[in-house]
Amino acid sequence: MIDHLDVKIRLFLLGAPICLALIGLVADLHIACSRQYKEMTSALQRSACLPFATGMWGEQRIGSRILVISVIAGAIGSPASSIRLGLLDEQDHLQFPRYLRRKILIASSLNTVGIAWVAAYYLMKLIK
C-alpha cells in the first residue's frame, strides 16, 4: 500500500506512531516515578477504581504503577460514566489536580493514537 511512496513519507508513516506511543509511555513513566503518583493516589481516596487497580496489579513495580495510571486515565477520561458506575467519586473528580489530569489524559491519548496507528498499518498489510 505504501510501497510506491517516497522513502521519507514511508519513514514518517512508520516512525510517527512509534514516537507518539513512546512519548506517552515516557509521560506515564514520569508520573509513576515521581511524587505525582502519590498525589494521584491521595486525590482518589474515595474512588473505587484505585483500590481495584492497586489490588489487581500492586504498586511496588514501575510497570504496575503504569497500569494503575492507565486505569485512572480511563476513569477520569470519561467521568460521567465512571461516576455513574461507581468507579469514580464525584468529589474526587472535582478535586483531582487539573495539571495532573491533563498530563494523564494527554499521555493516554498519545498511547492510544500511537498503538491504533501501528495496528491499522499492520492490518492494512495483512489485508493486502
pLDDT in tens, 64-92: 999 999 999 999 999 999 999 999 999 99
pLDDT exceeds 60 at position 48: yes
- Is 2 among the domain residues? no
Residue 46: DSSP 8-state: T
Region 54-72: what's the mean pLDDT?
A: 94
Nearest to 92 by CA among 54, 49, 44: 44
Q: Which residue has the higher pLDDT, 36 or 7?
A: 36
State the total domains in the chain: 1
pTM above 0.95, yes or no: no
Range of the domain at 118: 7-127
- Is 1 among the domain residues? no
pLDDT exceeds 80 at position 107: yes
Phi and psi torsions of 4, nearest 5°? -85, -5
Region 32-59: what's the mean pLDDT?
A: 94
Whether 69 contacts 37, CB under 8 Å: yes
